[in-house]
Amino acid sequence: MLLKLSQETSEFIKSQQYIQNTFTIVKELIENSLDAKSTQIKIFIDDEMIKVDDNGFGIKDLSEIGNEGYTSKELTTFYVLGLNSDSSNLSCGYRGLALCSIKNMCHLEITTKHQDHTTGYKKILTTNQITPYPRERGTSIKISKIFYNCPIRKKLNKKNISRDLKNIVSLIDGYSKIYKTSFIVKYKGNIISNKTGYENLEEYCRKKYKNIFEDSLYSENKEYFLFLIHQNGNNEESNIFCGRRLIKSKKITKEIKNNYNLFHQGTPVFFLQLKTQSDFNISPDKSEILLENETDIINKIKEDIVKHFSNQMEINNTSVFENKKYKVSEEENISKKIKQENLQIENTQELIDEFINEKIQRQHEIINEETQPQMATNNKETQKEPEINNIIIKDHELRKYEEDSILQKIEENGEIKSNETNPFILETPRSSHFQDNLINLPNDIEESILENSDDFVVKDTSVTTLILEETIFDFINPITSENINITIHKKDFYDMEIIGQFNKGFIITKLLKNNKSYLIIIDQHAADEIYNYENLKLTTKIIKQKLIIPIELDLSPIDILYIENNKQIFNNHGFEIENNKLKTLPMFKDQEFNVQDFKDLLENIKNEEYEIDKIHKILATKACRMSTMVGDSLSKNGMEKIVRNLGSLKKPWNCPHGRPTFMVVDCI
């Protein structure tokens, strides 16, 4: 039996999908103000209230405002429907859904004065009452009782307010580069953002980076404007615009980064404005687009990057070759030290892990954002859906990577103490020698999904090839997995049948699931290492060292908000903060900590990572040394223990260095 939903029910369901949190509410209101040609926008936010004031041209007709499907931006609506091909003056809004959706879940009040009217008006949307209201030209929208009829969303919205404020500041940073508008954001009376905008993106780039503009990549044609600077410690966020709409494109971002990494390590800062025809009616927040000629645009951007940095590389050839000689000499010394000291298998395992894990760490970009890739890839995009707790691995092409230029210093006892990163990157030739030594690894594991995942999803998985010399993964070379669709749950580790051990490095298992049998290999060292690592995290206590003179912290209002909301996390890591002063520093394993470690933890928390990088590395190294090694023979009980332990972990999918703990080889 089919039942037609009432208009009210249908509207409410759509509203819940469209308006998700404080950020999406503020985003819609800011974009409405920008469409009204505002030169000044003020945003006031509290736990139970949002207010946006602007000095735009105002709302002419309040009678239908807030009703579904009513919009004053019909030209953009016609463009989306294909009835208008003029893309020169498109607005941010066009659906007639934003105010209607907000009204359905919050109390909404609008006061406005249109530029053609002599007086202003006020409308309370809960009663639809309109009354005269004196004010200057512009519009004020006040929202209260946020998500009053959505209790779960209301609770989560309060909990995640710090994240929403961060996203609001990021949004304003983006729009200020392309709109000549001043923005002020206040949270509980404190200013957390104050930006003055620019006429266009080129003006912003020329003025902000005037000292390096001529040496940076600048390209403009009928399809796009691109400005890219060499990564120099600048923490500014890159932006992509479609017209004057702020959008996201993981594919374009990844291609830019990958081609930049052909010449430099790290992440570039870039600003891209697309000028071509596009379809932006894809996602609820209108941040995703479909480009008519996306492949051509990406190829042209690649050419721009390669041409620009190739010219720079020619100048530095001498230094590169000198550096290469140094690297060979250093590696010979390392080799001699290893032979002289006759390292034990534990330290040999550490060497293998450090080399392999650096590669995997760069490939997946999931452990330390400070460790950036030095490889060129053209991976297909992995879509990030926050509501789905899965790790998604998608098919991609075979890739050729550059050799890592990490030189490892080895002490006389064979322990790896530190890394020195070579600033020059040399492309590794694809010789027949390397063809015989390949690692097959799954690719494209999403960082934020991994952090919260309870499932591991394999869909049509092919394999990436990583060039290394004589690794423990050599045997996987002939294996390719095609058309495998399986979701691995943590509980599945308890159901895996142990077949045996292979090459004293891998546990071969079989899993019956969905009326199919899957052959799965477990990396015995990586699996045992992540188990030991999580246990160490639970049992390790960090000692606080009280400072004689507290350190004054230069904190923004949004920093203070993150600290207040995560005070227990800072305390657990040895940092006590009072009145914007750092009173204690952590002590752990004779490791020195300073203010920079506090700042790193603060930035990690903003990105929903809750640990200090130094402590993570110490625990990861300790977990490595106490774990089952490659070369260890295992009894059936020993193999079973390692596999079953994975089911009890928070994140069993990778070892603490980023190395996968298992691989679904085939459906048998």
Q: Are residues 433 and 566 in the same domain?
A: no
The DSSP letter of residue 33 is H
- What length is written for the chain? 668
Q: Is 632 part of a structural domain of the chain?
A: no
Domain that holds residue 179: 7-196
Question: Residue 591: what pLDDT?
Answer: 80
Token pair for residue 510? Answer: 């079989």
Q: Are residues 98 and 25 in the same domain?
A: yes
**By three-state DSSP, how is residue 657 classified?**
coil
Angle at the Cα of 142 (from 141 to 144), degrees rounded to 5?
A: 150
Q: Are residues 506 and 438 in the same domain?
A: yes
Domain boundary among 151, 169, 196: 196
Domain boundary among 196, 231, 246: 196
Token pair for residue 146? Answer: 């946020």
Q: Is 13 part of a structural domain of the chain?
A: yes
Here the CATH number for the domain that contains residue 247 is 3.30.230.10
Q: Is 322 part of a structural domain of the chain?
A: no
Tell which residue, 109, 138, 112, 115, has the closest CA to residue 39.
138
Q: Are residues 488 and 454 in the same domain?
A: yes
Q: Are residues 453 and 556 in the same domain?
A: no
Distance CA 446, CA 384 (A): 7
**By three-state DSSP, how is residue 397 classified?**
coil
Q: What percent of the chain has pLDDT over 90?
A: 38
Distance CA 31, CA 211 (A): 32
Q: Are residues 297 and 424 in the same domain?
A: no
Low-confidence stretches of the chain (pLDDT < 50) are 314-346, 348, 359-452, 460-481
Q: Are residues 188 and 205 in the same domain?
A: no
| Type of residue at 334 | I
Q: Are residues 457 and 557 in the same domain?
A: no
Token pair for residue 87? Answer: 């893309």
**By three-state DSSP, how is residue 51 classified?**
strand
Element (H, E) at 103: helix 98-105
Question: Residue 336: what pLDDT?
Answer: 43
Q: Are residues 406 and 468 in the same domain?
A: yes
Domain boundary among 196, 212, 235: 196
Element (H, E) at 192: strand 190-196
Tell which residue, 134, 115, 133, 130, has the closest CA to residue 55.
115
The total of structural domains in the chain comes to: 4
Q: Are residues 169 and 207 in the same domain?
A: no
Q: Is 583 part of a structural domain of the chain?
A: yes
**By three-state DSSP, how is residue 390 classified?**
strand
Q: Are residues 214 and 233 in the same domain?
A: yes
CB distance 223 to 300 below 8 Å: yes
Q: What is the pLDDT of residues 302-320, one digit of tens each?
A: 999 999 988 765 444 444 3
Q: Are residues 29 and 90 in the same domain?
A: yes
Q: What is the pLDDT of residues 424-461, one digit of tens each?
A: 333 333 333 333 333 334 433 333 333 445 566 655 44
Token pair for residue 131? Answer: 């009354």
Q: What is the mean pLDDT of the chain?
A: 76
Question: Residue 458: what pLDDT?
Answer: 57
Question: Residue 400: what pLDDT?
Answer: 34
DSSP string, 573-641: TT--EETTEEEEEEEBTTB---HHHHHHHHHHHHTT--S-HHHHHHHHHHHHHTSPPTT----HHHHHH
Q: Is 107 part of a structural domain of the chain?
A: yes
Distance CA 15, CA 284 (A): 10
Question: Residue 372: what pLDDT?
Answer: 38
Here the CATH number for the domain that contains residue 598 is 3.30.1370
Question: Residue 352: what pLDDT?
Answer: 52
* Predicted TM-score (pTM) of this structure: 0.61
DSSP string, 507-574: EEEEEEETTEEEEEEEEHHHHHHHHHHHHHHHH--PEEEEEEEEEE----HHHHHHHHHTHHHHHHTT
Distance CA 409, CA 431 (A): 28
Question: Residue 613: what pLDDT?
Answer: 84
Here the CATH number for the domain that contains residue 99 is 3.30.565.10
Distance CA 399, CA 463 (A): 10
Element (H, E) at 253: helix 250-260
Q: Which own/partner contact pairs does 125-130 have at CB distance under 8 Å and 24+ positions apart?
A: 125/65, 125/66, 125/99, 130/62, 130/63
390-393 vs 455-459, strand pairing mode: parallel
Secondary structure of 411-429 in HEC code, one letter for each residue: CCCCCEEEEEECCCCCCCC
| Type of residue at 142 | K
